[in-house]
Amino acid sequence: MEVRICNTCGIEKSLIDFPKRNGWYKHRCIPCEALTRKEYEEKRRTTPERQEYMKQYRPKYYLKNIDKIKTKVYDWKKLHKEETKVKMTIYYENHKEEIEAYKSNWRADNPEKIQATRNRRRARKAQTPQNDLTGAQWLELQVAFNPSLCLLWQAGQRSSDPGPPDAIGAQWSPYVA
């Protein structure tokens, strides 16, 4: 098998360990090539010009892809639930004062939002179905789901005074209409 010495790491390797371009094998092996590229990218990323560019570009990219990014972050968090929890706890512990200050500032700046949340919560609470069944209706419902209560129900229907709760069963007394 044909071999070649990599001009970067100096290790003799077989030709298939070298990247091929236009039918020719390069003189730098695949891992060295990857490493060089990575270093180059890293260097490029950390130049002041590049950082300045990214600073301007990043918010634009974020706004343009907001849904995509949000979904991605959401999925990642769902997949790494425990990790996220730990991370957030650590972050909170390290930035407690900042976070609390931010929160109280936000609350002071957004009283209308707080009120809106409060109203929403109240509305939600008011919408939850209230139990307005009469005692007899409630018992009927229970009997439908649990026929063994049937005798109890009949006893209640026949007598206006079902007697002390102990006589018929503790279940009975709260549901007398």
Give the nearest distance from C-beta 9 to Zn ion in angstroms.
3
Query: What's the burial of 139, exposed, middle or buried (CB within 10 Å: 0-12/13-18/19+)?
Result: buried
Least distance from Zn ion to the Cβ atom of residue 23, Å: 21
Answer for which of 3, 4, 5, 8 binds Zn ion (CB under 5 A) is: 8
Least Å from the CB of residue 26 to Zn ion: 10
Which residue, 33 or 140, has its beta carbon nearer to Zn ion?
33
The only residue of 29, 139, 149, 152 in contact with Zn ion, by rule CB under 5 A = 29
Q: What angle do CA 129, 132, 138 make, to 5 degrees?
A: 110
- Select from 32, 139, 149, 152 the one that contacts Zn ion (CB under 5 A): 32
Radius of gyration of the chain from Cα atoms?
A: 36
Do the beta carbons of residue 172 and residue 136 sit within 8 Å?
no
Cα-based distances in Å from 117 to 108, 111, 123, 127: 14, 10, 10, 15
Alpha-carbon gap, residue 162 to 169, rounded angstroms: 10
Contact between 139 and Zn ion per CB under 5 A: no
Q: Which amino acid is at 150?
A: C
Nearer to Zn ion, 2 or 93 (CB): 2
Question: Which pair of tokens denotes residue 136?
Answer: 């007899």
When binding is defined by CB under 5 A, the residue of 3, 5, 9, 66 that contacts Zn ion is: 9
Residue (35 or 155) nearer to Zn ion, CB = 35
Q: What is the closest distance, in whole angstroms, from the C-beta atom of residue 15 to Zn ion in the complex?
A: 13
Looking at beta carbons only, is 9 or 141 nearer to Zn ion? 9
What is the C-alpha end-to-end distance of the chain, expressed in Å?
96
- The residues of the shown chain that bind Zn ion, judged by CB under 5 A, are 6, 8-9, 29, 32
